[in-house]
Structure 1
Amino acid sequence: MAAIAERTLAPVPARRRRMRATVGGESQPGGRDWLEYLALRAAFGALAALPLGAALRVGELAALVAYLLDRRHRRVGMRNLEIAFPEKPIRERRRILRASFLNLGRMAVELAHLPRLSAERLRDMVRFADEEWWREATSWERSTGVLVLSGHFGNWELLVFAHGMRGHPVHMVHRTIANPLLDRWLNALRARAGTRTIRKRHAARAVLAALHERGLLVLPFDQNSTRGLGVFVDFFGVPASTNAGLARIALRTDAPIVPAFIVREGRSARHRVHVLPIMQVERTGDPRADVVRNTQRFSAVFEDMVRRHPEQWLWMHKRWKTRPPGAPRLY
């Protein structure tokens, strides 16, 4: 791993960010936002008009085109795979990344079809590997609420929908999408299954309120955290700045943590939800050390699932972007 940590890319000039008008603290859409939104809604409308099986093949084709043309995300994905799997040949890393793109294409199709899916159809598409174990795991919600450890894995939106459709009050911490129109549309789609979204910047109080309601709280755990918001823990043998919110909430509330991951079956629209053993926080008497210790435990669980199903994870995100002080850049 030392060889990987020493490799750096040439400095990248800072990109100028679009300034947005705001009203009451909320970002207002501009012309480019409207174009993106209308184009996506038109594409989703066309996909929804096709039978699901045919639409999945169209989604795969679009994903392959994106894989070939989107050099920036392809480069990030290959770099991540080099960091995570230095022992794998380049051909195998390319196969995994291509499969990850294909997963996104299929996921987009399923999102397009979600408004038309009945609860019965959704239950048929998304099954739990062990329903009895899931019922036992979620029985904790009646007393403390439950923290769900998950991330951008498989069709993560369907994972949240599946919980909501089974009658569990679901709250999800959500990082706001840059395009406010797409952000509102996606949150409205989530609300159809009873999912309440909590904006990340407003999370502290809302998260505690959600647990007081004895529901499920889904916290995506797998993306880079900026310095000061996360803690560095080992992820594939490399320090990764990781959201410590899950550990902090669990330490404060004693709510159990249930790792849950959704895995697609082949090229189909069928999925299995794998619920892993319930986790409780470990305490040493040192609050800061406890946050790092438990975040590392959660990271190890997530890494193990990615190792088992690497094609199901979102590799196109700069997971190791934030580095420890003095460490070389990896992108």
Structure 2
Amino acid sequence: MPNQKRKWKVSYLGKWLLERVVVPSLLKILEGLVLIFPPVALKRLAFSLGDLIYHLPFFDPQLAKTQWMNIMGEKDGKVVNRHIQQVFHHFALSFMEVVLLKKKGERVLEDLVEKVEGEEFLKKALSQGRGVILLTAHLGNWEVLGAWLGSQGYPTATLVRSPSVPAIRRFMEELRSVMKLEMVERTNLLPVRSLLQEGKILGVLADQYALKGVTCDFLGQKTLSPATPAVFHLRLGSPIIPAFIVRQGEEMKHQITFLPPLDWPLTASYQENIVRGTALCNQILGEFILRYPEQWNWFHRRWRD
């Protein structure tokens, strides 16, 4: 029993130091560096940080590797390791871009967003006056997508789950304020109806496991998936517009793509309509994820028994 108490105290102390000292200090350092380093140097720094995190003993990438192997069908461990290391590079660079965006504001978007396709689908959907459900994923740098929408004057809210680490929570709140985005907690969907009825955009990252979701295929395997887009589309008639942002190569350049509104044949069963709509959302998300697998969040446990 004394050993267990000692281990608990050490674990608690380590967690406290990480959340209260290490993370805030690292954020301050990075916020300072983005103001003085050119993009080429920031890219190199991001890749170095990605490599460092990949090799840290307390960060186990095994979940990401296992999910990659199951979905992508790759069995060669060395090849999988290279892909997951590229995933680390992408997310480290994405975080550096987010810090840059927070410190310098929307003026950096002209450099970060190289091309936008399909914006006419978004404009036409908004013209219907029922708001828009923007379907997207933890793919590319989705925070830059939100920032771009805000910079173009689109009234946008996004469903979020507040980080448990105070420093990161404050950082994200300040970032989304700079991005001109409203935040709606996933645990309280009451404001969603009024937001859509006011003609606003609701951004939904619908690619992660949802305990209260519906069961359907995601990347070829059955799992619980968020039904939020399908539910609000059926209740309010708000169009679902898929939107994705993907990195161009390994550069700090991105392309945003909007797709036509989703539609599916309805049945007499409301629940079946939700399942069909969610399955269609998953299909579209999956197609983009498989095109750019090194830019997706494989660290989330997407499939659970």
TM-score, normalized by the shorter chain, greater than 0.5? yes
In 2: Cα distance, 1:307 partner to 1:71 partner: 29
Unaligned runs of 5+ in 1: 1-15, 17-29, 324-331
Answering whether residue 72 of structure 2 is matched by residue 85 of structure 1, we say yes
Unaligned runs of 5+ in 2: 1-7, 9-15
In 1: Cα distance, 2:120 partner to 2:260 partner: 12
Answering whether residue 169 of structure 2 is matched by residue 169 of structure 1, we say no
Kindly state the Cα deviation for residue 31 of structure 1 after the two structures are TM-superposed: 6.8
- What residue in structure 2 maps to residue 263 of structure 1? 246
TM-score normalised by structure 2 residue count: 0.88
Q: Which secondary structure does the structure 2 equivalent of 1:201 belong to?
A: coil
Kindly state the Cα deviation for residue 37 of structure 1 after the two structures are TM-superposed: 4.2
Which of the numbers 133, 144, 157 marks the counterpart of 2:143? 157
In 1: Cα distance, 2:120 partner to 2:143 partner: 20
Q: Which secondary structure does the structure 2 equivalent of 1:196 belong to?
A: strand
Answering whether residue 194 of structure 2 is matched by residue 209 of structure 1, we say yes
In 2: Cα distance, 1:96 partner to 1:146 partner: 35
* Higher mean C-alpha deviation, range 298-307 or range 119-128: 119-128
Amino acid at match of 1:272: Q
Return the structure number with greater helix share: 2
- What residue in structure 2 maps to residue 141 of structure 1? 126
In 1: Cα distance, 2:57 partner to 2:225 partner: 27
Answering whether residue 275 of structure 2 is matched by residue 289 of structure 1, we say no
Answering whether residue 91 of structure 2 is matched by residue 112 of structure 1, we say no
- What residue in structure 2 maps to residue 95 of structure 1? 82
TM-score normalised by structure 1 residue count: 0.82
Kindly state the Cα deviation for residue 218 of structure 1 after the two structures are TM-superposed: 0.4
Amino acid at match of 2:220: G
Which of the numbers 212, 223, 237 marks the counterpart of 1:254? 237
CA distance change for structure 1 residues 168 and 113 in 2, over 3 Å: closer, same or farther?
A: same
Kindly state the Cα deviation for residue 71 of structure 1 after the two structures are TM-superposed: 6.4
Which of the numbers 183, 190, 203 marks the counterpart of 2:169? 183
- What residue in structure 1 maps to residue 263 of structure 2? 280
Kindly state the Cα deviation for residue 85 of structure 1 after the two structures are TM-superposed: 1.6
Runs of 4+ in 1 over 6 A off after TM superposition: none
Deviations 1:81-118 (A, max 9, x none): 12102255433322221111111110111111113435
Contact 2:125 2:261 in 1 (8 A): no
- Aligned positions, number: 291
In 1: Cα distance, 2:141 partner to 2:23 partner: 21
Q: Which secondary structure does the structure 2 equivalent of 1:279 belong to?
A: coil
Contact 2:139 2:245 in 1 (8 A): yes
